[in-house]
Structure 1
Amino acid sequence: MDRTYPVESLTDLGSQALQAVDVPVDEARLTAEALVEADRRGIASHGLLRLPLYVAAIRAGGIRPRPELRWIRTQGATAVLDADSGLGQVAMAAATDRVADLAAEHGAGVVAVQHSTHYGAGAYWTDRLAARGMIGVVTSTTGPSVTPFGGVEKILGTNPLTLAAPSSDGAALTADMATSAGAYGKVVAARNEGREIPAGWAVDATGRPTTDAESALAGALLPFGGPKGSAIAVLLEAFSASLTTANYAFQTEDIWANNASQMNTGHLVLALDTAAFTSREHTEHRVAELQQRIRGAAAPGQQAFAPGDLEHANTGRNRETVPLASSTVGQLEDLLGSLGLPDDLIPDPAD
């Protein structure tokens, strides 16, 4: 059963856990805020569930706590960032700031990132771009977990895709999704909580469909949308890795499997400055018009949602407190013990 905990206390817990393994204060706070924000959105697969993994990877050498980020190439509206195997959140903070500056100067900006790691929920980064009046696109490689349509071998990652447009409605129009039928973190969460996963998400090691989370992790996830979704996942793999020296998923050993693996994850971040086209106000009002029309398309007695509406509603509902699964709380308790941190960093439930 999920119980709710204060947002600020959970953010402090995450920050102190990362500082305990030598992550600088500002970077630890940024990463903790991004994880807790995912929980607030209702995306527990990318929230504090990931914190023990990050800490284990830092301790084992898979993630460097104090990376030396380097801009290794700049040309016009483009740039390439080497993240030195640091936390993906640290790399993406630099990448989104740079791409927004490039877009403000040139009308559009593109940043490719190599030698990075998992960056959390993509909407956290496109929100930063939307707040500056930018249309944002973010994608990434991951560890191998997905087989292409018709396959059984893990060739692709979950290859997340996040798209966002700023809106005068108050919340960006946002789609944040894995290109697998289900997110890898959701399968991990299902295994941890003893739940089955939906049919159509995965095959076992022999290629047979399965709803058992453990068998899915031993087998492979499936792309969404059959051959069409598989094609999109393949192209996102190419976009995220081929512009740099980043690894493809099939070249990667995931830190879930080996905490010492330096995954060399690749990200691609694109931004369009709406002011370079008509005006920021024009685009934001046009996007809001579309959102409102989508919501108004519901059948009688039903409700229609524009992309991002449910996550924005969760964020508003979880403004002060956030629900955590008991399995995640147990893992956080174990983590604090392993770091020699006081267990009272886990606050009393608010409910």
Structure 2
Amino acid sequence: MRRFPVSEVVAFAGRALTAVGVPDDDARLVGDSLASADRRGIASHGLLRLPLYVRTIRAGGVTARARPRWVREHGATAVLDADGGLGQVAMAVAVDRAAALAGEHGAAVVAVQGSSHYGAGAYWTERLTEQGMAGLLTSTTGASVTPFGGARPVLGTNPLTVAVPSSGDGPLAVDMATSNGAYGKVVAARDEGREIPEGWAVAADGTPTTDPAAALGGALLPFGRQKGSGLSVLLEVLAAALTSASYADETIDMWVDPGSRMNAGHLLLAVDTAAFTGRGHTEARAADMQERVRSAAPPGGTVHAPGDPERAQQARTGDRVPLAGPTLEQLDRMAADLGIEGIGEGT
């Protein structure tokens, strides 16, 4: 593992993306979102994804210079067509509109169609909590998860991110896949020669496996058996059926075919806490809940409130981005292929 200044990592990602036609501002946004994930310890959504984004743009699966446009607006709701672009670019537009509508109406729902992977969900809900708003975000993905009792991939990892602003040391936030493990973590385990935990996946014949390659050829499992499976199904419906986005098993994932137009759907809910009991009250109550959760620890033990581990990891990394050897090798190959300056040596 080597560590690099955030500014250098974002600049490197920007060079890679602008080399394939992404506008400067969009490239910096995507680079910042990926670096933020690595700093929080979510390597599956960090710079590991950059070569994939580059391949996908070059193959035509993602539009480099997308022009997101609003296709429907009604009251406190709106639908954004991402024009086949990078998910981060669409989400920046969606978050701004959701915050404005929630400020006007007290709550807002923005749906996105024609999109792609938006990175770690917490990056977007944190933008809302910084404005005193609670947020809920979910998305479709490519098919990689089998429903409870199944063997064939039908569902996506269908992430769920929920965040509430707090007057404590950061928002009360959950950012999770509805599979037992995120797809990117399985890819990272394969690239790093590690096994995945038991209960994460089945091979193509439906037998349990800890081999990440067999898992990628088979299916991931939902968390919580039938409960996680049911939640995943409902999240996929909300992210896809409110728009013209595709279901997971109608999609060829960019990991499988970089030329695939995924037509991912996202759903973002923003709630202005000022419209209820007031921002101060809500933030104080969220901080109180964080402390109540932490206080459940046995003597000498630790219980984390949602969001604590990621904040602790970011505090440890400071202004540096930790990157694993296999990821660095991929980044070096990508840089050489694009003819751009590499990421550097790190420490």
| Structure 2 residue runs without a partner (length 5+) | none
Instruction: Give secondary structure in 2 for the equivalent of 1:15.
Output: helix
What displacement does 1:349 show?
1.9
Deviation at 1:288, TM superposition (A): 0.4
In 2, are the aligned partners of 1:179 and 1:229 still within 8 Å (CA)? yes
Tell me by how many angstroms 1:347 deviates.
2.1
Runs of 4+ in 1 over 6 A off after TM superposition: none
2:254 matched to which residue of 1?
255
SS in 1 for 2:154: coil
CA distance in structure 2 between the aligned counterparts of 1:39 and 1:229, rounded to whole angstroms: 26
Q: Is the 8 Å Cα contact of residues 7 and 319 (structure 1) preserved in structure 2?
A: no
Secondary structure, in 3 states, of the residue corresponding to 1:10? helix
* CA–CA separation in structure 1 for the residues paired with 2:24 and 2:275: 37
> What letter is aligned with 1:39?
D
CA positional deviation for 1:7: 1.5
> For residues 197 and 349 of structure 1, what CA distance do their matches in structure 2 show?
28
What's 2:344 paired with?
347
Secondary structure of 1:197's aligned partner: coil
Q: For residue 115 of structure 1, what is the aligned residue in structure 2?
A: 114
Question: For 1:293 and 1:245, how far apart are their aligned partners in 2?
Answer: 42
Name the stretch that deviates more: 156-165 or 9-18. Answer: 9-18
Shift of residue 170 of structure 1?
Answer: 2.9
d(CA) in 1 for partners of 2:8, 2:344: 6
1:33 maps to a residue whose letter is D
C-alpha contact (below 8 Å) 1:126/1:138 kept by paired residues: yes
Match of 1:302 in 2: 301
Q: Which residue of 2 aligns with 1:201?
A: 200
Equivalent residue for 1:323?
322
Code of the residue aligned with 2:38 in structure 1: it is D
Distance 2:53 2:62 in 1: 7
Give the SS at the match of 1:176.
strand
Task: Work out the CA distance in 1 between the residues paired with 2:320 and 2:130.
Answer: 24
Q: Alpha-carbon deviation of 1:278?
A: 1.1
User: Displacement, 1:322?
Assistant: 2.0
1:7 match: 6
| TM-score (structure 1 length as normaliser) | 0.98
Alpha-carbon shift at residue 234 of structure 1 (Å): 0.4
Taking the aligned partners of 2:298 and 2:150, their CA distance within structure 1 comes to: 39
Instruction: Using the TM superposition, give the Cα deviation of residue 21 of structure 1 relative to its aligned residue in structure 2, in angstroms.
Output: 0.6
Q: Distance in 2 between matches of 1:27 and 1:5?
A: 21
Distance 1:315 1:96 in 2: 23
Contact 1:89 1:118 in 2 (8 A): yes
Q: What displacement does 1:6 show?
A: 1.6
SS at match of 1:237: helix
Deviation readout 1:45-67 (Å, 9 max, x if unpaired): 00000000000000010000111
Do residues 289 (structure 1) and 288 (structure 2) align?
Answer: yes
Alpha-carbon separation, structure 1, partners of 2:304 and 2:117: 29
Equivalenced residue count is 347
Counterpart code for 2:217: A
For residue 11 of structure 2, give the secondary structure of its aligned residue in structure 1. helix
Contact 1:6-1:347 at 8 Å conserved across structures: no
Output aligned runs, 1:141-156, within 5 Å.
Answer: 141-156=140-155
Q: Which amino acid aligns with 2:146?
A: T
Mapping for residues 332-343 of structure 1, pairs under 5 Å? 332-343=331-342
Aligned-pair RMSD on alpha carbons? 0.6
Distance in 1, matches of 2:18 and 2:341, equals: 14
Q: Which runs of 5+ in 1 are unaligned?
A: none
CA contact (8 A) 1:10 1:347 kept: no
Shift of 1:81: 0.1
> 1:158·1:178 contact (CA, 8 Å) conserved in 2?
yes
Which secondary structure state, in structure 1, belongs to the residue aligned with residue 38 of structure 2? helix
In the alignment, residue 76 of structure 1 is paired with which amino acid? G
